[in-house]
Amino acid sequence: MEKLYEEVEEPVSPHGQYFNSSVMCAYIFAFLELDIPFDESQAIPLIKDLFLPINPRFSSIMVRDKDGKMRWQKVEVKIQENVKIPKFPETTNSSSTELYDNYVTSILTSKTPQDKPLWEIHVINYPTTNAASTIIFKLHHSLGDGYSLMGALLSCLQRADDPSLPLSFPSRIPLDPKYSKKSLFKKLCFGVNAFFSSISDFGSSIIKTRVIQDDKTPIRSGYQGNELQPVALSNILLSLDQMREVKSKLGVTINDVVCGIIFYGIRLYMEEMNEKTKRANSTAIVMLNTRNIKGYQSLKEMQKPESKGLWGNKISFLQIPIPKPNKSGICNPLEYVWEAREVIKRKKSSFSVHLIALLMDLEMKLRGPEVVSKIIYNTIGNSSVFISNMVGPLEMMTLGNHPVNGLYFTQTVGPEDINIAIMSYMKTLRITLKTLKGFIDEQKLKFCMDKAVELIFKAAKEISEKPIKN
């Protein structure tokens, strides 16, 4: 145990306890792909000067106080113990990319010690297909959600073109910009529809969590304990400019297009692996941030006392049925985009996400974090796919004068067989697939996703005018 020198009075949030229990141990992994080899002598100074000051939790461990409550307790951080710089064998028949893949698999499935701060930074100074070197931030989910942790990471980086300027991000479009112009009657109808939609979604979510499971298919094994099994990572890179063209052509959002690609690719994979399962009941769990925010905060803003509420886990889960092909098996690929749009549009007007969060808080108070952690674990296990997304900067970044060519993330949460993470950076949108080795054929799944991209883009190009979809 490291030497304790100061106690942080801040209690561990409910979500922080859910994600660090006997049932679940969740992590977020952020990958920085560098254009040049990383200067290893800069690792500890950068962590000491930039990373640790962002939040006390990076210098703390979770302890149980005399009243039995979990709290963050500050410790003396021995940075060198949390920084890993692997040395691959020089005489081997394996390429550095293969050795890199094996190393990543090992850190994705291992746990960090509980008697040290719950993070690790891995500096891999070996070339891969996309980078001269890679830095991996392994951050325990109890430290914060994706927004908190990605904000912390971005605070350590600078704009490559002008470090004095802040990073900029894509503008966020209001959920319904025409809502304020609607008549009182239409607003009332909207409210009534949202109420019944929320009750319906909330009820179906409870049933799905505690009673009904997805069918066992090529994308869902139904096994528990998968989070400890070897996994594979693969990436699909898409041009944001091309995505915007499709978005404009179809009259939808980029998020709709991405969801359509994912759902169509999954159905193609299911049909390829076992045609009988192409119309099976399959559900995607989407992790959502429940903060009312406009974007990431700067390091100075994060360190302000009034910004304390920006940290933690402000999240909930949304269950979305994966669209099925029609009975004839023939369908327009764009139907997956439009159906994804309709489902997302309806879910946006629902308050079920917040009701689920309130229910978890209530169960936390009545039954304790272990019970809620088990409910979350079962919710993920009863579904087929786990999806999350983040928005990245529009400009290239640097870390200590090292240009960052690529930025993506993944996470380990529960027993999901397929975990899909989506992130934009500069002019690229990256879909990262984390799949269970030995059950998911990661190459075939990636092929089906690439095929879905090709067919959807081709079908959109053939449309002469925007379809009208309400």
Lowest-confidence pick of 296-310, 380-394, 439-453: 296-310
3-class DSSP state of 189:
helix
Written as six digits, the tokens of 203 are 């009820």
- Segment 209-231 mean pLDDT: 85
CA dihedral 341, 343, 347, 352 (to 10 degrees): -160
Q: Grade residue 272 by pLDDT with cuts at 50, 70 and 90.
A: very high
- Segment 185-190 mean pLDDT: 54
Give the residue, 294 or 371, on which the prediction is more confident: 371
Give the residue, 70 or 419, on which the prediction is more confident: 419
Residue 184: exposed, middle, or buried by beta-carbon count in 10 A (0-12, 13-18, 19+)? exposed
Q: What kind of fold does domain 179-394+414-461 have according to CATH?
A: Chloramphenicol Acetyltransferase (3.30.559)
**pLDDT in the model for residue 4:** 42
Lookup result for tokens 């974090």: 369
Domain over 10-159 is classified CATH 3.30.559.10: yes
For residue 179, pLDDT over 60 is answered with no
Report domain extents, the chain. Answer: 10-159, 179-394+414-461
**pLDDT in the model for residue 220:** 94
What is the per-residue pLDDT across 57-94, written as a single tens digit (0 to 9) for each?
899 999 988 888 889 999 999 999 999 999 988 766 56
Using alpha carbons, list the distances in angstroms from residue 90 to 94, 99, 102, 128, 134: 10, 11, 15, 15, 18
- Segment 126-146 mean pLDDT: 91
d(C-alpha 452, C-alpha 260), whole Å? 9
Strand 158-159 relative to strand 133-140, pairing: unpaired
| Core vs surface per residue 397-425: b (16+ CB within 10 A) or e | bbbbebebbbbbbbbbbbbbbbbbbbbbb
d(C-alpha 42, C-alpha 450), whole Å? 38
Q: How far apart are the first and last CA of the chain?
A: 60
What is the per-residue pLDDT across 150-169, written as a single tens digit (0 to 9) for each?
888 888 899 999 998 888 88
For residue 112, pLDDT over 60 is answered with yes
Cα 27-30-36 angle, rounded to 5 deg: 150
Average pLDDT score, the chain: 83
- Segment 379-407 mean pLDDT: 92
For residue 205, pLDDT over 80 is answered with no
Contacts by 207-213, CB closer than 8 A, 24 or more apart: 208/283, 208/319, 208/379, 208/382, 208/383, 209/375, 209/378, 209/379, 209/382, 210/375, 210/378, 212/382, 213/381, 213/382
